[in-house]
Amino acid sequence: MFFIKELTHTIMLHPSYFGPRMQQYLESKLYSDVEGTCSGQFGFIIAVVSISDIGKGMVISGNGQAEFVTRYRAIVFKPFKGEVVDGVVHNVTRMGIFAEVGPLNCFVSQQLLHPDLKFDPSSNPPSYTSQDQVIENNTKIRIKIIGTRVDATEIFAIGTIKEDHLGVIE
């Protein structure tokens, strides 16, 4: 699920950057630091929408660097158990299917595929096939997330397509 979330990020700025373009440095630093990362708590930070407060630089005694606690609003994507998401298959193995849901990697075990879908090892690229469906790389599928593993810097999900209205999207 996507959220717009107010977050903070701390930037250390070397004194050599102090000066007229400091703000610009900070902004670009924030973008590069934050966008595309994942925090277990909030999920994937997709993009910074706006910077609400670049923060007051506090010079740290001892090394002269300034610490900016920047508050910004970002679009975050956090997967939840039970959520239905669309993804693109990017790897098919005997065990199941790995799909990308944006930045999220999602695994669909072959036990959570429809029983009709059988792994076809002979096909190239490998695929799961039934009479009317083929799941191979780049197939778009709709997945229901049944579990997530949330690390500090990574989120991984497993999903199922063994329910109604899930599976290949035409």
Partner 1 sequence: MSDIEEERYEGTGFAPTTEDEEEREEQGGTHHDRGRKYSKQRPRREDEEDEDEDDEDDDEDEDEDDDDEDDEDVEGVGRGSKRQKRRHKRAAVNRFLDVEAEVNEDEDEEEEDEEYGGDEFIAEPEGEGDDEEGVRRTVHHARLDRRDRELNDQDLARIAEDVSQRYKRSAVRYTGDMNEVPQRLLMPSVQDANLWQVRCKPGRERDLVFSLMRKSLDLEFSNRPLQILSAFERDSLPGIIYVEARSQKQVSEACNGLVGIYPSRGVTLVPIDEMASLLLIKKQETTVNPGNWVRIKRGKYQGDLAQVVDITENGEEVGLKFIPRIDLNPKDDVVIDGKKRKKTGQAVSTGVRPPQRFFNYEEVVKVYGRKMVSKRNQAYIFQNDTYKDGFIEKDFKLSGIVTENVNPTLDEITRFARGNQEGEGMENAVDLSLIAEASRKAAIAVLQPGDHVEVFEGEQAGVHGVVESIALDIVTVNPVGAFDLEGQKVQVPARSVRKRFKPGDHVKVMSGKNADESGLVVSVSGNIVTFLSDMSMLEVSVFSKDLREAAEVGSGTNIVGNYELHDLVQLDNQTVGVIFKTERDSFRVLDQNGQVRLVQPHQISMRRDSNRAIATDAEGYELRVGDNMKENDGEGRKGRILHVHQSFFAFLHNREILENGGVFVTRARSLVSLAPKGNIIRPGTDLSKMNPALSGGAVTGGMVGSGMGRGPRDRLIGVLVTVIKGPQKGYIGTIKDTNGPIARVELNTNNKVITIEKERLYRRNKDGKLEPLEGGRDSMGPPRGGFSDGGFGSSGGRTPNPYAPSGGAGWGGGRTPNPYVVGGGKTPAWGSSKTPNSYAEGGKTPFHTSSQTPNPYAQDGGRTPGWGSSARTPNPYTAPSKGAAGAGWGGATPGWGGATPKPTSSSWNDSSSAPSNNGWASPGPPASGGWGESNWSAATPAFGAPTPASAPTPGGPGYGSTVYNAQTPAGMFTNRADMPRRLQPHIHHMNGRGRQHSIG
> Applying CB under 8 A, does 86 fall inside the site for partner 1?
no
The binder of partner 1 chosen from 54, 83, 98, 126 (CB under 8 A): 98
CB of 65 to partner 1, least distance (A): 6
> Applying CB under 8 A, does 59 fall inside the site for partner 1?
no
> Applying CB under 8 A, does 52 fall inside the site for partner 1?
no
Q: Half-sphere exposure (CA, 13 Å, Cβ side) for 46?
A: 15
CB 3 within 8 A of CB 39: no
> Applying CB under 8 A, does 146 fall inside the site for partner 1?
yes
* Residue 107: partners with Cβ closer than 8 Å, 6 or more residues away: 96, 97, 98, 99, 156, 157, 158, 159
Of the candidate spans 1-9, 28-36, 120-128, the one that interacts with partner 1 by CB under 8 A turns out to be 28-36
Cα separations (Å) of 104 from 6, 54, 100, 136? 21, 29, 6, 18
The binder of partner 1 chosen from 5, 29, 71, 73 (CB under 8 A): 29
* Residue 37: partners with Cβ closer than 8 Å, 6 or more residues away: 44, 45, 153
Return the residue matching tokens 């900070």.
26
Count of residues of this chain found to bind partner 1 when the rule CB under 8 A is applied: 44
Which ranges of the chain would DSSP assign to H, the alpha helix? 22-34
CB of 87 to partner 1, least distance (A): 12
Which is nearest to 25 in space by CA: 63, 65, 61? Answer: 65
> Applying CB under 8 A, does 42 fall inside the site for partner 1?
no
How far apart, in whole angstroms, are the C-alpha atoms of residue 168 and residue 170? 6
The binder of partner 1 chosen from 9, 11, 43, 87 (CB under 8 A): 11
Question: Where on the chain is the footprint of partner 1 (CB under 8 A)?
Answer: 11-14, 16-17, 21, 24-29, 31-32, 35-36, 46-48, 65, 81, 90-91, 93, 95-96, 98, 100, 102-103, 107, 109, 111-112, 145-149, 151, 156, 158, 160
